[in-house]
Amino acid sequence: MSKVTERVLALAEPVAAECGCEVWDVEYVREAGAWYLRLYIDKPGGVSIDDCEAVSRALDPILDEADPIPTSYIFEVSSAGAERTLKRPADFARFAGEEVEVRHYQPVAGAKSHVGALVSRSDDGTVTIAVKGENMSFPAAQVAQVRLHMTI
pLDDT digit string, tens, across residues 72-98: 999 999 999 989 999 989 899 999 999
Q: pLDDT tens digits, residue range 126-140?
A: 999 999 989 999 999
Reading across the β-sheet that carries 134-138, which strands appear in turn?
A: 134-138, 127-131, 111-121, 99-108, 143-148
Domains of the chain, start order? 3-79 (3.30.300.70), 89-148 (2.30.30.180)
Tell me how far apart the alpha carbons of residues 20 and 3 are, in angstroms, rounded to a whole number: 26
